[in-house]
Structure 1
Amino acid sequence: MSFTARGIIPAMVTPFDRQGKVSKDGLRKLVDYLIEGGVHGLFPVGSQGEFYALEKEEKKKIMEIVLDQVKGKVPIYAGTGAITTKEAITLTKMAENIGVDAASIITPFFISPTQNELYEHYLAIAKSTSLPILLYDNPGRTGVNLSADLVVRLSKVDNIVGIKDSSGDMSLTAEYIRRTSNDFSVLAGRDTLIYGT
């Protein structure tokens, strides 16, 4: 698959109004602000966007607003991760139908899947969509880590094109880079490590 994740792709916060509803105006202003700042992509509905507290319809609305406001200027990497494979597939298909450019899928949280179960989870999602997929490793938030061996296996799946690594473990990040092909993107998910990748 010829899709390369690169550059500065900020994880977007989700602005809410005083009633706790997604602020459509605030979201549009945030998109404009980030694009004017020179980013290379946008990542809505991720950890910073409080995906875990959003209902499916809210996620859909956020993706639609971001897509409309971006107007093709930069790629959109929508967060479609969930605890279950079934829900992650549903969210990924929804994102694909909306028209985002890629899906970023965090490891399941609350449960403790094995590395082989994680392989099957990501493989099932990848088979369900034509979207490019970024794996998302954030063990500090999920309690689940993607090993270098697993990432190497998953990097061979055609539409799994990279990983957002928020582990903070530079040795692991280096292994991801060293052991995967040049067309597999490794993105630093921690600001303190941005120069390392």
Structure 2
Amino acid sequence: MNNPTKGLTGSIVAIVTPMREDKSIDFEALARLIEWHVREGTQGICVAGTTGESATLNVEEHTQVCAFTVAQVSGRVPVIAGAGANSTSEAVELTQMAKGIGASATLQVAPYYVRPTQEGLYQHFTRIAEAVDLPLLLYNVPARTGVDIELATTLRLAKVGGVAGVKDATGSIERASEILHARPNGFGLYSGDDATAAALMLLGGEGTISVTANVAPTLMARLCEAARSGDARAAARLHLQLMPLHKSLFIESSPSPTKWALAQLEKIEAHCRLPLLSLSETAQPLVLRAMQEAGLFTPR
């Protein structure tokens, strides 16, 4: 597989899964979100990930959301399908689904809760990569999974055919620097932490799989363009403009703040599925203030 990360660059939105009041999936709203992102310069869509509430989607819904997104995008930007699981066999099945619907790549989170060893992680991701011929992005988010894909394991996996890159959500610029220093050609590094995304890209990372891009797609696309072209001043200006939003979108469990913010922009309804709740009234003014500071449209 020659340079599997080609085309997977810039601002890739970790898109929410819109839901109605009865908690059914709102596909009409999802279609509108996708069209908005394409117009505003988002360079890729990651569907059915953490921000897409994948943990609350059943297998049929997971497939429907991914297939709908691929069809709606219709090749205009890459689509990364969330296909991770804490069971290797289930992750293989989801990856086979992603290939069947025409996704550009999959995002594979470290198995959560079971806390595998580093060798277990290596064998898990290798098995998926060998089973399905589709670029695979590792997803390292130890704060959620309880296990870190350590640097040595990441670099070992980077040599496995089909393992195209890593979404690093540790927020550690030191870790990012170590990956950039030692990675083989064609292995992409993507930020999974909006607050450090600009720095990661200025160092040479390919892009960000972003929560903030849900709410501020144009600004995140501009930030990525500036950072990836080496325009540190412009990247810093946009980073500081967005920093309050980066923080406020995690003031309560994600994606509750993001969905509430999108509801203020009249893009979707703010509903989440249990055990997640809609954003509390206490937190709402803080998110609204951050939206105002970013210069986004806010209610009259």
Q: 2:59 aligns with which of 27, 36, 56?
A: 56
Q: 1:103-142, aligned counterparts within 5 Å?
A: 103-142=106-145
TM-score, normalized by length of structure 1? 0.97
Bigger RCO of structures 1 and 2 (CA < 8 A, at least 6 apart): 2
Q: Distance in 1 between matches of 2:98 and 2:38?
A: 21
2:26 alignment counterpart: 23
1:10 aligns with 2:26: no
Regions of 4+ moved over 4 Å: none
Which one-letter code corresponds to 2:77 in the other structure? V
1:168 Cα offset (Å)? 1.0
Aligned to 2:10, the other structure's residue is in SS state: coil
Query: Matched residue pairs, number?
Result: 197
What's the C-alpha RMSD, in Å, of the aligned pairs?
0.9
2:36 alignment counterpart: 33
1:192 alignment counterpart: 195
1:157 aligns with 2:148: no
Aligned to 2:32, the other structure's residue is in SS state: helix
Q: Distance in 2 between matches of 1:158 and 1:124?
A: 11
Structure 1 unaligned spans of 5+: none
1:78 aligns with 2:81: yes
Which one-letter code corresponds to 1:7 in the other structure? G
Q: 1:98 aligns with which of 98, 101, 123?
A: 101
TM-score, normalized by length of structure 2? 0.64
Q: Distance in 2 between matches of 1:189 and 1:129?
A: 24
**TM-superposition CA deviations, 1:110-156 (whole Å, max 9, x none):** 11101000000000000110000000001111111111100111000
Q: Distance in 2 between matches of 1:140 and 1:13?
A: 20
Q: Distance in 2 between matches of 1:128 and 1:175?
A: 29
1:7 Cα offset (Å)? 1.0
1:183 alignment counterpart: 186
Q: 2:147 aligns with which of 144, 153, 161?
A: 144
Q: 1:166 aligns with which of 165, 169, 177?
A: 169
Which one-letter code corresponds to 1:169 in the other structure? S
Structure 2 unaligned spans of 5+: 201-300
1:19 Cα offset (Å)? 1.5
Taking only the aligned residue pairs, the percentage that are identical comes to 35
1:66 aligns with 2:62: no
Q: Distance in 2 between matches of 1:117 and 1:155?
A: 16
Q: Distance in 2 between matches of 1:9 and 1:195?
A: 13
Aligned to 1:64, the other structure's residue is in SS state: helix
Aligned to 1:10, the other structure's residue is in SS state: strand
1:181 Cα offset (Å)? 1.6
1:182 Cα offset (Å)? 3.1
Aligned to 2:91, the other structure's residue is in SS state: helix
Aligned to 1:192, the other structure's residue is in SS state: helix
1:34 Cα offset (Å)? 1.1
Higher radius of gyration, 1 or 2: 2
Which one-letter code corresponds to 1:32 in the other structure? E
Q: Distance in 1 between matches of 2:163 and 2:9?
A: 14
